[in-house]
């Protein structure tokens, strides 16, 4: 019997050793699996955190860029408004000086010269030469310079002075008004005065 018990004992030991070996193997595999899963979860968490940080970084940069753009636009608008104000002030003074000039004898000479240029450009009958309402009293002095079949009249459209000739039949206009010359000077001033907003 002792032999049988010894066999049973050896069998139990062998089974126990095998079971312990299997248990240890399963524990190792489980630990390895858990470790791999944990590493994978950590890596995914790091990837998600990195992506979130990148997105937040881009959002912050985008907001900063939008804020800079808003400030830049506001500054440009302020500069444009100031440029317009300066231009308006300069040309309001120029208009006042032109209006003062139109009350001098030198203006009478200039008006006659401008009228002669317009009459030479538009000598065809039916041409209407227009002066400002303020120059209406000067029409009798200009009438003798008028080509045959043409006439001179006053208009509110011309504010500063000078003369505009128009031949509707030929579709021709000769604009020798101080208004148009000042408007051209305004365009040149805006372009050349160094008040550009870049």
Same domain, residue pair 128 and 95: no
Which residues neighbour 197 within 8 Å (Cβ) at sequence distance 6 or greater? Answer: 76, 79, 80, 83
Same domain, 10 and 71: yes
Report d(CA 159, CA 27) in Å as an integer: 103
The CATH number linked to 150 is 3.30.2320.30
Res 146: pLDDT = 92
Residue 149: pLDDT band (50, 70, 90) is very high
Of 101, 135, 151, the residue at which a domain comes to its end is 101
* Ramachandran class of 177: left when φ > 0, alpha when ψ lies in -120 to 50, beta otherwise: beta
- What sign does the dihedral 43-48-51-57 (CA atoms) show? negative
Q: Which domain holds residue 57?
A: 1-101
- pLDDT tens digit sequence for 1-25: 567 778 788 877 888 888 788 888 8
**pLDDT one-digit tens code per residue, 172-198:** 999 999 999 999 998 888 788 766 655
Q: Are residues 1 and 93 in the same domain?
A: yes
Q: State the pLDDT at residue 23.
A: 85
CA distance 184 to 198: 23
Calpha distance 122→129 (Å, rounded): 9
Domain count, the chain: 2
What pLDDT, in 10s, does the model give residues 62-90? 888 999 999 989 988 988 888 889 889 99
Residues 85 and 125 in one domain: no
Report the SS3 class of residue 147: coil
Question: Given this model, what pLDDT does residue 39 score?
Answer: 84
**The predicted structure's pLDDT at residue 116:** 95
pTM for this one? 0.62
Question: What pLDDT is recorded for position 98?
Answer: 93
Give the separation between CA 153 and CA 173, rounded to whole angstroms: 15
Is pLDDT above 60 for 107? yes
Helices and strands (H, E) in the chain, number of each type: 4, 4
Percent of all residues in the chain with a pLDDT value above 90, rounded to a whole number:
46
Domain boundary among 101, 121, 139: 101
H or E stretch covering 132 = strand 128-132
Residue 180 lies in a domain: yes
Q: Are residues 136 and 67 in the same domain?
A: no
Same domain? 73 vs 161 = no
Pairing of strands 128-132, 151-155: parallel
- Which of these three, 71, 86, 101, is where a domain ends? 101
**Which pLDDT value is given to residue 160?**
94
């Amino acid at each position: 019997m002792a032999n049988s018990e010894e066999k049973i004992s050896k069998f139990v030991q062998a089974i126990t050793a095998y079971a312990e070996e299997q248990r240890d193997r399963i524990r190792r595999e489980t630990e390895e699996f858990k470790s791999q899963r944990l590493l994978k979860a950590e890596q995914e968490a790091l990837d998600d955190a990195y992506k979130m940080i990148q997105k937040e970084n881009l959002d912050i940069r985008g907001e900063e860029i939008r804020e800079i753009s808003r400030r830049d636009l506001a500054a440009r608008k302020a500069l444009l408004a100031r440029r317009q104000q300066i231009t308006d002030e300069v040309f309001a003074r120029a208009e006042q000086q032109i209006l003062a000039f139109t009350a001098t004898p030198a203006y009478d000479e200039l008006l006659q010269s401008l009228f002669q240029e317009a009459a030479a450009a538009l000598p065809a009958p039916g041409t209407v030469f227009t002066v400002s309402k303020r120059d209406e009293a000067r029409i009798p002095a200009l009438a003798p310079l008028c080509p045959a079949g043409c006439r001179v009249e006053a208009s509110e459209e011309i504010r500063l002075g000078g003369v505009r000739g128009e031949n509707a039949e030929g579709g021709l206009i000769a604009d020798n008004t101080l208004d148009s010359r000042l408007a051209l000077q305004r365009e040149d001033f805006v372009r050349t005065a160094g008040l550009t907003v870049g």
